[in-house]
Amino acid sequence: MSNTLKHIGIIMDGNGRWAAKRKLPRSAGHRQGITTAKKIIKEAIRLNIPWLTLYVFSTENWKRTQEEVGFLMKLIITHMINEASFYKENRIRVRHTGNLKGLPDNVQFEINKSIQNTIDNDAITVNLAINYGGRDEIIRSINNWKKDTDNSNQNLTEDILKLYLDNADMPDPDLIIRSAGDQRSSNFLLWESAYSEYFFSDKLWPDFTEQDLRNTIANYENRSRKFGGLQ
């Protein structure tokens, strides 16, 4: 079975712990996490990876302190505005996955603007999972299907449900990387990751490097993917 990589998902964990180790505010870890994400995006382009999904803010992250959530919302807006040239220069197409309507209006506006401004870029598609939860995506997809009157007498199948996911044209992730040592999916791409390969790194996300990405891909390429069948 070919191990050609079309899509990598990354759970970027450990920003807060990185900052705490350095006696810095958690905000410093989140800022450094963006710097790391940009390096990894550029390396993914160099490696000809067509799709990259980054877990930016989950539906569960609203449980964090009001101060941290407010900072993260402002950081998303600032990133969308300040990185417009980064997207353009590197021909990055931006997508979003998650409950967009559940975000503040100004965050929604900047996400939509980045999507529209990068729609013709063709080096890589970076799918930003913001206000995202796998269970929430599945429920929203089913509810959207139910609203379609043409489906009133139709049984729901896997192929039909996929059409109602946030990005129906997105290939399922071949590989999901999680940093910072924890070994769980944390509600990330639950539907899409049914047959994804997982790699867990002990490194905190801000410390994750381009070489770490290459090493992870090399590990992936040596695995046997059977998709429930025989080799």
* Domain extent listing, the chain: 7-221
Considering the four listed CATH numbers 3.30.70.100, 3.40.50.360, 3.20.20.70, 3.40.1180.10, the one that applies to the domain covering 7-221 is 3.40.1180.10
**Of 13, 136, 166, 174, which one is the catalytic site residue?**
13
- The rounded distance, in Å, linking the Cα atoms of 197 and 217 is 11
Buried b (16+ CB within 10 A) or exposed e, 5-24: bebbbbbbbbbbbbbeeeee
pLDDT score, position 107 = 98
175 three-state secondary structure: strand
- The rounded distance, in Å, linking the Cα atoms of 131 and 231 is 38
pLDDT (tens digit per residue) in 60-85: 999 999 999 999 999 999 999 999 99
Considering Cα of 72, then 77, then 82, then 84, what sign does the dihedral take? positive
**Of 61, 99, 112, 151, which one is the catalytic site residue?**
61
pLDDT score, position 229 = 59
Residues of the chain with pLDDT under 50: 1-2
pLDDT score, position 168 = 96
- 61 is a catalytic site residue: yes
- 13 is a catalytic site residue: yes
